[in-house]
């Protein structure tokens, strides 16, 4: 599915506009019963951790339980489809994340259009990936890594959590920006990929900061760079890759969505509650523990952000010729 930015923004606007249908009666006393939060990934994954963190806050703020329902599979598409089919009444929400933007191009045939069918509710946080190698790897910086890869074509392999995952696409973006060749080694999940990186079976990994940070701090891995546009407060001495490759920026981001047609009053209430949580010192500290930064915005801000991400990742996927398994 090839979505250009203008089309993405049109669809994003339609999704937000659809939520503005006046259904005030449904929203006046929302919520009156537990709310289901569908997470398209396994329990214990980074996205699941952030969803549960915000679910706990919303439970306290709204006075009703937020029940996390893990529906992993197909890069998050199974969970997304579940929410697309749900009633737009605010009682089924979706934990959204970077794969939702990637999948729009990665999968040629989906039973839904994410930007059209999921109304943005709020963003939660953003976290870099870490370009990590073993301390014994010859390169000690991003420029040295690029020089080494050019001098040893086909001998540098990078691990990912699977084809089409943010870890894979961030690696492809780096390969594209640096003009180098690397061998992609996909695994069935991030932990397996990280195990082989630590064991020396692969040379580099664009590892989510929450998973990588303990190994970087202990000296088991060397962080060459972070993938966000700016340095991370969690690793202030590690440069951003964009300092060497201008324009390079990739991140893992997390938020919340709802079925298209969910009343605007409900979306606005959820957005306000989530933004209040992101301003809470305890929540901010919990996010910082994972190397993540709060990402505050209105539903329209989130729609624009997702449209931009969809366009950016689409270009990388098409350039690299990545196809879903």
Over its length of 325 residues, how does the chain's per-residue pLDDT go in tens digits?
A: 444 555 555 555 554 454 444 455 556 689 999 999 999 998 888 899 999 999 999 999 999 999 999 999 999 999 999 999 999 999 999 999 999 999 999 998 899 999 999 999 999 999 999 999 999 999 999 999 999 999 999 899 999 999 999 999 999 999 999 999 999 999 988 889 999 999 999 999 999 998 899 999 999 999 999 999 899 999 999 999 999 999 999 999 999 999 999 999 999 999 999 999 999 999 999 999 888 999 999 999 999 999 999 999 999 999 889 988 7
Residue 25 has a pLDDT of: 53
Please tell me whether residues 47 and 113 are part of one structural domain: yes
The answer to whether residues 72 and 176 belong to one domain is: no
Based on the fold, state whether residues 151 and 226 are members of the same structural domain: yes
Helical residues (DSSP H) of the chain, grouped into ranges: 5-18, 24-27, 46-62, 77-84, 98-106, 114-117, 142-151, 166-178, 190-198, 209-218, 264-279, 281-289, 299-320
Tell whether 111 and 31 lie within a shared domain: yes
**Tally of domains in the chain:** 2
In 3-state terms the chain splits into helix, strand, coil percentages (rounded to 5) of: 45, 20, 35
Nearest to 294, CA basis, from 324, 254, 323:
254
Residue where a domain stops, chosen among 243, 269, 303 = 243
Contact 240, 209 (CB under 8 A): no
**Assigned domain for 146 exists:** yes
Instruction: Indicate whether 94 belongs to any domain.
Output: yes
Out of 218, 243, 268, a domain closes at 243
Q: Are residues 42 and 82 in the same domain?
A: yes
Are residues 215 and 198 in contact, defined by beta-carbon separation less than 8 angstroms?
Answer: yes
Nearest alpha-carbon partner for 307 in 8, 103, 98, 17: 8
Count of Cβ atoms closer than 10 Å to residue 131 Cβ: 25
CA distances from 239 to 101, 147, 231 (A): 26, 17, 6
Contacts of 122 (CB under 8 A, 6+ apart): 255, 256, 270, 271, 274, 275, 297, 299, 302
218 in any annotated domain:
yes
Q: Are strands 183-186 and 157-160 parallel, antiparallel or unpaired?
A: parallel
CATH for 140: 3.40.190.10
Residues 202 and 98 in one domain: no
> What pLDDT sits at residue 1?
42
**CATH number for the domain that contains residue 49:** 3.40.190.150
Q: Residue 207 pairs with which residues in a beta bridge?
A: 130
CB 296 within 8 A of CB 48: no
325: in domain? no
Single residue among 243, 262, 281 that ends a domain in this structure: 243
**What's the pLDDT at 38?**
98
Q: Say whether both 64 and 121 belong to one domain.
A: yes
Q: What is the pLDDT of residue 27?
A: 61
Domain span at residue 215 reads 128-243
- Same-domain pairing of 81 and 158: no
Contact 221, 197 (CB under 8 A): yes
Based on the fold, state whether residues 16 and 66 are members of the same structural domain.
Answer: yes
pTM: 0.86
Q: By three-state DSSP, how is residue 55 classified?
A: helix
Shared-domain flag, residues 181 and 84: no
> Do 114 and 10 fall into the same domain?
yes
């Amino acid at each position: 599915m090839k979505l250009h930015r203008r089309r993405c923004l049109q669809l994003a606007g339609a999704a937000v506009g659809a939520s503005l249908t006046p259904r005030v009666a449904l929203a006046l006393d929302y919520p009156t019963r537990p709310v289901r939060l569908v997470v398209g990934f396994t329990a214990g994954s980074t996205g699941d951790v952030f969803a549960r963190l915000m679910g706990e806050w919303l439970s306290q703020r709204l006075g009703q339980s937020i029940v996390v329902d893990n529906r992993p599979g197909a890069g998050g598409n199974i969970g997304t489809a579940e929410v697309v089919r749900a009633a737009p009444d605010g009682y089924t929400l979706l934990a959204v994340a970077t794969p939702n933007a990637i999948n729009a191009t990665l999968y040629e045939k989906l039973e839904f259009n994410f930007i059209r069918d999921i109304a943005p509710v709020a963003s939660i946080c953003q976290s870099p990936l870490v370009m990590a190698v073993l301390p014994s790897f010859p390169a000690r910086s991003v420029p040295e890594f690029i020089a080494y890869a050019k001098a040893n074509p086909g001998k540098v392999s990078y691990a990912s959590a699977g084809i089409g995952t943010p870890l894979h696409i961030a690696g492809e973006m780096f390969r594209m920006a640096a003009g180098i060749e690397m061998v992609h080694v996909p695994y069935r999940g991030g932990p397996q990929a990280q195990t082989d990186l630590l064991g020396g079976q692969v040379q580099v990994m664009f590892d989510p900061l929450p998973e990588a940070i303990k190994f970087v701090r202990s000296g088991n891995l060397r962080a060459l760079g972070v993938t966000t546009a700016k340095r991370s407060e969690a690793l202030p001495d590690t440069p951003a890759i964009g300092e060497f490759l201008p324009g390079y920026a990739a991140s893992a981001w997390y938020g919340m969505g709802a079925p298209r047609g969910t009343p605007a009053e409900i979306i606005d209430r959820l957005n306000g509650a989530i933004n209040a949580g992101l301003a809470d010192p305890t929540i901010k500290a919990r996010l910082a523990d994972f190397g993540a930064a709060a990402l505050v915005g209105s539903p329209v801000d989130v729609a624009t952000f997702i449209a931009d991400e969809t366009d950016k990742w689409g270009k990388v996927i098409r350039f690299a010729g990545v196809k879903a398994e």
